[in-house]
Structure 1
Amino acid sequence: MSRLVLALGLAMLLPAEAAPGAGATVVVVVRHAEKATDDPRDPTLSEAGQARAAALATRLANTGLDAAFATQYRRTQLTAAPAAAQAGIEVGVRPVDAANAERYGPDLDRDLRALPAGSTVLVVGHSNTVPAIVSALSGQATPEMPETEYDRYTVVVLDADGAGRVFQSRY
């Protein structure tokens, strides 16, 4: 994919003043889309959730998505799947549970910073993990996420110097 197409795709994600510099990694962090009621423990996505996952894929089109990560739950993987399929990549599963919940964000931060410079990554989590992930990546306090919120779209630009810049939007 040409650098121009990638630049245009990333420009759609970020405000003009947030353009990533050379070697910056761009991480898009979202909560899973609206869940169905088909399974109380591990539901799939509702029709609204499927539409939101498709909207996320549209938003990430032409960004040169290099990696996508989700938890072990179907709702996170199904949210990431359309964007990953569009980019020709697999969704990597990073399980979260009570045993690793406290270290989940910091461990993800470490692993994302180890990716090749200039990577673009999608991370799909839950209302109780997204704020901690964003905080771990950026070093900034992040507002809690209510159980009813599905449309927060956070971009963390990890600059080559290690700094993390945060930009939030809705989708």
Structure 2
Amino acid sequence: MTRYRTVLLCAGGSGFTYCMAALEDIIGQAAKSGRSLTKHVHVVWSLREPDMIESFGPGIEETIRVAQAHGITVTVKLFLTKANSNSLVERSYLASLELKVDRPIFSQVLNEVASGEALVNGGGLGVGVCGPSGLVEGVSQAVMDLDPNQVQGIGGVKLHSEKFGW
């Protein structure tokens, strides 16, 4: 994912471990080389219950801080699909995250990212997704539905997917 100016990482539940690893790789490469082609990372994490946030929250906050120090902006949107926002215990790291009680509509998310200012002059868009079949298929379909002219204008789109299920 380090070859793209903008990266969109999507996860369902424990698929967030892939997103954190990809994000840490992008930041690690920037720290090692002193520069980064990637300038913007958008993370979308869909989960049923907020309990999992407790495991990753402090790490997310630190990762965002380190990314900013290397000139990389990171936005994280959490989508709680079965809980309500009142069930979240107040934590300082939640201030850096956008929280929605809903399911993500990946075509909207992808269009927002692909239309962003950062991609006007190319640089490419890397999309990574890890989660259950329905989520991976939703992101894949959103990528396939992008306007070919838009894809060409932003310097191309590359999709990497990892699906889990039983």
Same fold? TM cut 0.5: no
TM normalised by structure 1 equals: 0.43
Q: In proportion to residue count, which structure has more strand?
A: 2
More helix by share: 2
The two structures have a TM-score, normalised by structure 2, of 0.44
